[in-house]
Amino acid sequence: MKLKELTRTREPKFGTFLLEFATPGIGYLLAAADCDFVLVDLEHSGLGLETVKPLLRYLEAAGVPAIVGLQAKHNHFISRTLDVGAEGVSPPMVASADEVREMVSHVKFPPQGRRAVSMQVGHDRYRAAPVDQAVADANARSVFFPKVETAAAIEDIDRIAAVEGVDGLWVGHYDLSASLGIPGEFDNPVFTGAVDRVVAACRAHDLALGRIVSSVAEGKALIDLGFDFIAYSGDAWILRDTLQAAIISMRA
């Protein structure tokens, strides 16, 4: 299923977070693990576009849709990442509906936005087509998933969710808790109240809602709350934790 189609159903979708492993086999490994999607991180991983460009092709070959978490929320990162072949982008630290509306304008080609037009490159798989049709097709398949991880975004969450062109919201829980002045206190009523506001906004506007989780129990709880994109842990942590548990057990 394409990423856009996944955002239009509220059934739970499961995946993981890629920040280390960009090998040719990674797409097929994720597909074999029955992942519905993957979140590729550029913000914290050190990965750049020259690495992500082939990585997107590996994922595409295996049929695993990808959301790319951007380094920053500026147009330079939004449009270039889309041009190399990303179908979904997720900029960090959004703060207001006006800011989100500006970012959407760089996701969409005219007349829906003002993204610079480039055809027959990564985003349209190098296919030749009439420009009007290629532009319309690109606008239809692009997915925008801004990260809600600031106190300012929570205060403007209803207006953010209402912006045309937003397909879903992604809660950056560590940054959000820090911005609220309670870093890591995910059971604090201030944090849970903020998340409740995001959930309500997504329900009101029929948006997808995602988050990274560190345990199966946490994932199940978020599904019950209204999240439908669940990224279980991340590649580096899954390797570390699984290997560590096995070694500890054998040593014992």
Identify whether 123 is a catalytic site residue: no
Long-range contacts from 214-218, C-beta under 8 angstroms, 24+ separation: none
Catalytic residue among 44, 74, 76, 106: 44
Q: CB of 209 within 8 A of CB of 193? A: no
Query: d(Cα 93, Cα 81) in Å, to the nearest integer?
Result: 17
Query: d(Cα 176, Cα 171) in Å, to the nearest integer?
Result: 8
**111: number of Cβ within 10 Å:** 9
**251 token code pair:** 């040593």
Long-range contacts from 129-135, C-beta under 8 angstroms, 24+ separation: 135/109, 135/110
Q: What are phi and psi of 122, to 5 degrees?
A: -60, -40
DSSP label of 86 = -
| Alpha helices (runs of H) in the chain, residue ranges in sequence order | 3-7, 26-32, 49-62, 75-83, 97-107, 131-141, 151-155, 157-161, 173-179, 189-205, 216-225, 235-251
- Among candidates 107, 94, 97, which has minimal Cα distance to 148? 94
The catalytic residues are 44
